[in-house]
Each structure stands twice: as structure tokens, then as C-alpha cells.
Structure 1
């Protein structure tokens, strides 16, 4: 068993390099493979094999701590730094309505699914121990509203145990990728679906033009000063968030201990909230121009290292012992999907808005561009745009969902 974190880090970096190298390969085998198996799934799955077969020592490794405390807040700053609220508004009300509908579907879908299944199978509330299931579901809410960064935040904020977390990561990845496959099928039949609903698709052509113009305006080759400034901002804000969290959390713990129920006594909670809030505020400053130098790409690199470290804590055999959790996740996704399809039909929205709005929630910046590009390659950044909004909302909405789950789960 490998215990040296430097070696483990190198192995994870090699795995991520292999995944992205093969995902970009023109070889026929890899093209077919990644049409079926999403890249993000491989970034979870391959590291999980290292722990499942006892190749690395996960229990004593500090890599997850470093990724969650240093890389996570830094990535949140860089991903929210690129938010263009005006551009999001210009996508039109239907795109935003469907995106927010997707968020609402996840926030209420979790408690509804837990309520339904606990009525049929009360024992589900005690899987992994009393109160563990609802805690584990908060990590899925974080993932499905924002992404892996928000998922990690919920794990720490709600003190989720590793056993139920392993099972919930498996539920998250499997259910989310099944739904993504459904969305890709819908993308292939978008014209028929839009005609059937009488949806107005003229806005899609306008979107293409705006996205292409945006790309040409901001894209540039990053210079060394650009990269150093990006590092200064993301890690500088991380330092500020740590410093503030170290003062705020103890204050609540001493003067308002009853707020522990709402995570106000958690230093990690304030770390994530402060980093996200400062990142959003920087989107209204000149620092936003750093997006043209690849700020969000660097943030994504941090996120994928975080994903890899999370993967080392994922037990791929966890669902075998708790298949009811998969049913729970599927029911949850059904509520989200049903609400999305209903609202899309009522407002006669293009399938593009429904699919990307859903995936921007469920899949985040890693896969929303994939679904958007299935409609047209130039529209991939639209998926990123909405997904970044999901990163900003993810922590807040998932935390609120967690409070609802606490009520249903008896926490």
C-alpha cells in the first residue's frame, strides 16, 4: 500500500492526464468509448480503483484536505469570476426560468424522494446509521445544483460520514450520467420535439452570434503576469476567506451555539460562502478580464484534482450493499426531470434551453458544454455560462435543501 502523498498525487495527475489525453484523441476506439462513458465519470472511477483494491492509503492521506481547503475555495473564486450576469439575462427569460426550475426541482426533489421512500421503506432512514442518509443526500444536492466543489462543501458542512458519502457519490455519478444520456438523445431529436411543442427557436440563432462574438472579444494567449495575477487573486481570496472563517465560526460557537443546526458554527461553511461571495463581487471588477486569460480553465484544473481526491473515497461496491439508495436517487432525478419537462411545455421553450438548463445544474461546467455542443458547437460556452451560475447558487441552494432534508430525515 502506497502511503506517500507525493506519489499518490503523481498517480492522480497521471490518471487525469490519461483521461483527458484519450478524451481528445482522434482514435476510433476512444471516440466511441467517450460517447458512452463521460470524462468526469472516468475521473471519479479510476481513482476509486486505487482505494478499492488497497493500492493507496486513503485514511492517512492529506490530499483531500489540501484539495478541499485550498484548491476548492480558489476554484470557486475563479469559476464565479467569469460570471456575466448581463449575458445570462440576455439569454432570455425562458433560459433562466428553466435553469432556476432545475435548481428548484433538485431542492424540493430530494426531500420529496426521501419522504416517499421512507413511507414505503422506513429502514432507509437508518442506512449507514441514524441520520446519515439525509446528510449524504446534501452532497448530491451540492453536486446536482453546482458541482464537485459544492458537493465537497456540503460533505464538510453537514459532517457526512465516509461510508454513506461513498454510496452517495456512486448514486450521484450513475443517476446523473443516465439523465445526461437522455438529454443527449433529446438533443438529437430537438427539431421534432420543438415542433411538437410549438417552441420558438429563433433565439438560438441569436445566441450563436453572441457567443461567437464573446469568444473573439475576450480570448487571448495568457502571459506570465496574467497567470501570476490569477494565482494572486484566487489564493489571496482563499487566505481572506480562511482568516474571516477563523473568526466568524468561533464567534457563533461561543455566542450563538444554537445556530450549529444551520452550520453557522462551521468554519468550512464560512470558508465556502466567503470565497463564493467575493468571487461573485469580483465579476463586477476589472479582474473579470482575467477570464480571457483562462481563469476558469485553471479553476477547472483545481476542480478535477478535487474530483480525483473525492474518487479515492468512492467505494464502487457501495451500491451493492444499499440498492435502495439508487432508487432514492432515481426518484429524486425523476422529480427534477418531470418539473423541467412540465415547465418547458407550459412556456413552449426550446429543447436547448431545457436540456442545458438541466445539465448546468446536474452536471455543472464539466458536462453542460457537452450537452450544449450537441445542439451546436458554438453554443458550448452557453452551458458553461449557466453552469457557472450554478456554482454561485450551488452552496446556498444545497444548504437550504440540506435544511429541508434534515426536517424529513429527523436530524
Structure 2
């Protein structure tokens, strides 16, 4: 049994690192085709926790609290360094409108699913749908940020991760399967394909990061976390805008501001943020168990309901606004799949459109956390949860 804080953190980092390395080294393994490394990290950490490998004493509990307090804001800040709002606005009004409608469909779907399944899942289901909204509006990093801000129980993040992985995979397969039917869809929607010119790939590419850049980025991320934590202590209070919520909102604003500084040109921020994300997911999973995931099948069905509501809104929008299938599909996947999959769908239409998918997915990082918090606030009100 590992009782020290150093051993606790080292084992979590090693677990996440090994799984990510295996996924990159052996992508052909069937396991990695169905379960991404982020989900495997969560499941394996739960298995180890159930086996009693960690003592989970007071020292480790304090370390867990400090990790969430500092590393989650640092991760959000590093992700947002690449998100220049001016660059995102170059996508044009049609793509931005499609993205907004896709996001609205996900938020409405979460409300519908909560109302339909609340009696079966219990009042605490609001936290699952809030964290899932954070992920399906932005990415897994936004999910973790919403979980930290709203202090959602660790087990509920496990539900959200499973729904995010399995239901998202089904949605991705559907959107890719629809690509050959684009002409028919566009004729039905009377679509006017007015795609903007692709963004310059040079603005999206990053060179290999050196140790000086990584150290500087790590320092900036941690300093931003400390500043946002202090702002949370000063401005946070009772009600919805607690210390943790203000902390996440503050670091989001700081990250967007720093995107206009020379720091944004440093390479490695996305890789460093991803490393922090895996460490955070492993740490959260170490505090839960499989016994807490008894309602997983019902949550998977609820996730499909969210996608059905989202898809129905996109179909109506396509008909009324004459949006082509590419615009609808990439806007949808930029929310639900993020940077990892929106460019894949864009490339299925044309390789020249990959930057469009990347930029739309980056927009999700900007709105994902705030959108998840908004959904959480609405669901708390519907569920009668005191704020």
C-alpha cells in the first residue's frame, strides 16, 4: 500500500503516462479504438483504488485538494493561450451561427435529459449533466474545470466520461457515414455552401517545444492559477458564484488575455495542458470506485437523448438557414468531439478545410466551461438544489 504523497502522485503520473504511450505506440489495438486513453486512465485508476493500492490518508487527501485547486486552472490557462478571439471570428457568421446552434442544442438536450431521467437517477444527476455539457461544449479539460468549479462528486465525473466516450463515438461514426450523402442533404436544405477560406495553417502549427519554453509555460500556468485562486478568495461568496466558480471564470479571462501576448507563440502549451489533464483525471478517479457507477447504462441512454435533441435542432437550423452538411457536421463535432475529431470530419470533405475544423473546436474551449456552469446553474434550479 502506498501511503506517502510522493508515491501517490508518482504512481498516478506513471499510470497515465504508460497508457498514453501505449495508445500512441499501438493505436491498432482494438482496446484503444473503443476506449481512448483518457477513459482507460480513469478506469484503471479506479481499479487500483479498489485494490487498496493507495492509503488515502489525510496527507493524500490534502494533496488531492491542492492538485485540483492549482492544476485545473493552470490547465485551462494553457489551453486558452492558442485561442485568439479575433482569429475565431474569421470563421464568418454562418459557421459561428451553426456553432452557436449546436451548442444551444447540447445545452437544451442536457435539460431535457435531466427532466426525463431525474426520478430514476436522483437529484444528484445535475452534476453529471453539467460536467457532460462542459465536455460536449468544449472538451475533457472543460469537463474537469466544471467538476472542480461546481464541486461535483468524483463518481459523477466517471459517468460523464463514459457517456462522453461511448455516445460520442457513435455520433462520430454517424457523421462520417453521412459524408457521401452531402449532395442530397444540401439539396433538401436548399443549402448555399458559402464556406470561408481556410485559415493559414502556419498560425495553427507548433514547433517542438524546448525545455526553456516548457518551464516558462509551466510557470505562467501556475502563476495564473495562483492569481485566479486569490481572485476567487476575494470575490467568491455564497450562492452560485462560490470561490471555485470565480476561480475558474477568472483563469478563463486571464488565459484569453494572455493569448494576445508573445506567450501565445511559445510551442508546447497544448502538450503541457494535456499532461495536466491526464494527471487530473487519474487523481479524480483514485477517489472513486466501480460501485459508484451502477447507473452507467441509464446515463448512456440519457446521453443519446441529448444527441437526439441536438441533432433535431441542427436539422431544423439546416432547413431554415440553408446550412450545408459540412457546416452542420463540423459545428456539431467541434462541440461534441473537439480538436481531436472536428478536423477529421473536415478532412473527409476536403483537406483544405481542416483548419476550419480546428478553429471551430478551439472556440469550444472558450465557451465550454462557461456553458457547463450555466447548464449546472439551470439544472440546480430545476432540481431544487440550494446554491
- Specify the TM-score bucket, using the shorter chain as the normaliser: 0.7 to 0.9
Which ranges of structure 1 fall in alignment gaps of 5 or more residues? 253-259
Report the CA distance shift for 1:231/1:156 in structure 2 as closer, same or farther (over 3 A).
closer
Q: Is the 8 A contact 1:167 1:314 kept in 2?
A: no
Aligned residue for 2:239, secondary structure, equals helix
- 1:248 matched to 2:235? The reply is yes
Deviation at 1:66, TM superposition (A): 3.9
Q: Does 1:161 align with 2:139?
A: no
> How far off is 1:318 after superposition?
4.5
Mark the runs of 5 or more structure 2 residues left unpaired by the alignment.
Answer: none
Q: In the aligned structure 2, how far is the partner of 1:381 from the partner of 1:58? A: 45
The answer for the alignment partner of 2:313 in structure 1 is 339
Work out the CA distance in 1 between the residues paired with 2:156 and 2:214: 39
Secondary structure class of the residue paired with 2:152: coil
Normalised TM-score (structure 2): 0.84
**Farther-moved stretch of structure 1 (266-275 vs 134-143):** 134-143
Structure 1, residues 355-390: CA drift from partner, whole Å, max 9, x if none? 332222223344444444554566555444323322
Instruction: Tell me what 1:14 maps to.
Output: 14
Paired residue for 1:280?
Answer: 256
Aligned length: 383
- Corresponding position of 1:151: 143
Query: What is residue 36 of structure 2 aligned with on the other side?
Result: 38
Within a 5 Å distance, the mapping from 1:97-108 to structure 2 comes to: 97-108=97-108
Kindly report which structure 2 residues correspond to 1:10-409, keeping only aligned pairs within 5 A, or say none.
Answer: 10-25=10-25, 29-30=28-29, 33-57=31-55, 61-62=60-61, 64-118=64-118, 123-124=119-120, 127=122, 131-187=123-179, 190=182, 193-194=185-186, 197=189, 199-201=191-193, 203=195, 206-207=197-198, 210-215=199-204, 219-249=206-236, 252=237, 260-262=238-240, 264=241, 266-290=242-266, 293-313=267-287, 315-316=289-290, 318-321=292-295, 323-375=297-349, 379-409=353-383
Is the CA contact 1:241–1:275 (under 8 Å) kept in the aligned structure 2?
Answer: yes
Contact (CA 8 Å) 1:71, 1:302: kept in 2 or not? yes
Q: Residue deviations 1:56-94, cap 9 Å, x none?
A: 455764464344222211111111111122332222222
CA contact (8 A) 2:142 2:368 kept: yes
* Contact 2:190 2:319 (8 Å CA) reproduced: no
C-alpha displacement of 1:315 = 4.1
Quote the offset at 1:242 in angstroms: 1.6
